[in-house]
Structure 1
Amino acid sequence: MSPLAREVTPEAMARMIDHTLLKPEARPEDVEGLCREAVEWGFGAVCVNPLYVRRAVRALEGHPVKVAVVVGFPLGATTVLTRVVEAVEAVAAGAREVDMVAPAGLLLAGDEGGYAEAIRAVARAIGGDVILKVILETGLLPSAEWKRRAALVAVREGAHFVKTSTGFGPGGATVDDVRLLAEAVAGRAGVKASGGIRTAEAALQMVEAGATRIGTSSGVAILREMRGLR
């Protein structure tokens, strides 16, 4: 383990984790359990589907844990208006962070303007006080140059974070992609590593590569491992 990884305490890791539940079969009681775990373990945020934003906000009332919502999830193929409505409705219900899937197909087709518009419209609609994380779905982007371009457009149009993956697409977060994105944004935005991060070692590797947020449904297991618990 590197010196940097050794410096990351369980408490610091917890604050970086978006405790995530996006399974289509998730029930209201599952979301409430997610929120209880977030409070118990000190996670920075929970990340839920739009259906459960209001429930999560109620469950976390009086606690510092934020509620993040996914938008255009998981394909990134909704219209601009649909994205905006989905994001604005979630923010009105109490979400303080929006994780929006970028329309990778437009970028790959050469329609950088359409790609940018989808991000810009949501950024303007939710306002600067709400954190916007743009999911690039790096597994769909064929080269480092495509990934760098996607990140730079997202930051230019208002993203506070660029995020690797939905966890539903081809591949998840990799150390190389996180490092590439961190170098591309160069401190102008954060980097959220998400997709397949299930162990403390994997999470620490992502932090060392430049991740400032970790999206995972295995946050409790990661912290238990870091604290030497069984």
Structure 2
Amino acid sequence: MPTTPISEIARMIDHALLHPTLTDEELRAGCELALTYHVASVCIKPYAISLASQLLAGSDVAVGTVIGFPHGSATTSLKVVETLQACRDGATEIDMVINIGKVLSRDWAYVTDEIRAVYEICQLNGPLLKVIFENDFLPDDTSKIRLCEICTEIGVGFVKTSTGFGFVKESDGNYNSLGATEPDLQLMLTHVGPNTKVKASGGIRTLDEVLRVKAMGVTRVGTSSTQTILTEAYQRFGLVAPTPPSLRTSHIETKEY
């Protein structure tokens, strides 16, 4: 596929299919959408890897999945087993949630050992590893910087801002999720090494938001608003956006996070 401004944007996108109520029909439609727009990957729940691998076979769309999702609280051994099973089922990208409680406890040895254990499984089996910090739960920059350093030292492919499901209780009793903020992205870009990249995830829903983080140096974006973003991109460049087959006559609506 020739490189164009639209294809550059599409190849940044990990199309998220992670909503808890997502059906098999919606998964199929999401994979068709990913194929239509030639995005970088789909990011799906582990049980769906085999189906997505079949749907995307022979395409340029990678099959990504999540490990320890969304709270990161599984034991290291379970995360390792989950990663190994994902590799066997056909995943080529792994988005792993750190143990947030251990980060807040400053147990850096545990955090390092856990990330390294999952990384080594990925190295043996081929998938690219992305490590999710869940920045909404980390109140100070020191923890985020240390995580960037650990991930750089280990050699992971990406550090990632959020799961999209990290809601923090505010003083008024309401729950809020900031997701990928520009200050956090800049901090992460500053403190990772040259071989570790940054993925913005959580709250990225418009073309302008994608373009802003792209200009900062972010190279992947996790979003469930893929069709909205890329339809807007086609319109901005005066082109007609393709329509995924299942969406031409379907009632299915995108479930965003």
Question: Shorter-chain-normalised TM-score: which range?
Answer: over 0.9
Residue of 213, 230, 241 corresponding to 1:206: 213
Residue 145 of structure 1 and its aligned partner are, at CA, apart by 2.0
Aligned residues: 223
SS in 2 for 1:227: helix
* Contact 1:151-1:185 within 8 A present in 2 as well: yes
SS in 2 for 1:77: coil
Residue 147 of structure 1 and its aligned partner are, at CA, apart by 1.0
Name the CA distance, whole Å, in 2 between partners of 1:58 and 1:93.
Answer: 10
Runs of 4+ more than 6 Å apart: none
| 1:112 equivalent in structure 2 | 108
Structure 2: segments with no counterpart, 5+ residues: 168-177, 242-257
| 2:184 equivalent in structure 1 | 177
What code does the residue aligned with 2:61 have?
V
| 2:68 equivalent in structure 1 | 72
| 1:164 equivalent in structure 2 | 161
Matched, 1:10 2:6: yes
Name the CA distance, whole Å, in 1 between partners of 2:71 and 2:155.
Answer: 20
**Mapping of residues 8-157 of structure 1, within 5 Å:** 9-127=5-123, 129-157=126-154
Q: Deviations over 1:123-146 (max 9, x none)?
A: 111216310000011111112222
* Contact 1:178-1:210 within 8 A present in 2 as well: no
Residue 208 of structure 1 and its aligned partner are, at CA, apart by 1.6
Name the CA distance, whole Å, in 2 between partners of 1:221 and 1:187.
Answer: 32
Structure 1: segments with no counterpart, 5+ residues: 1-7
Q: Percent of aligned pairs with the same residue? A: 39
RMSD, matched Cα: 1.4
When normalised by structure 2's length, the TM-score is: 0.84
Residue 86 of structure 1 and its aligned partner are, at CA, apart by 0.6
Name the CA distance, whole Å, in 2 between partners of 1:164 and 1:110.
Answer: 19
Name the CA distance, whole Å, in 2 between partners of 1:209 and 1:49.
Answer: 29
SS in 2 for 1:23: coil
| 2:202 equivalent in structure 1 | 195
* Contact 2:67-2:95 within 8 A present in 1 as well: yes
What code does the residue aligned with 1:174 have?
T
What code does the residue aligned with 1:17 have?
I
Name the CA distance, whole Å, in 2 between partners of 1:201 and 1:168.
Answer: 22
Greater shift in the superposed pair: 216-225 or 201-210: 201-210
* Contact 1:132-1:158 within 8 A present in 2 as well: no
Max radius of gyration: which structure? 2
Name the CA distance, whole Å, in 2 between partners of 1:21 and 1:67.
Answer: 11
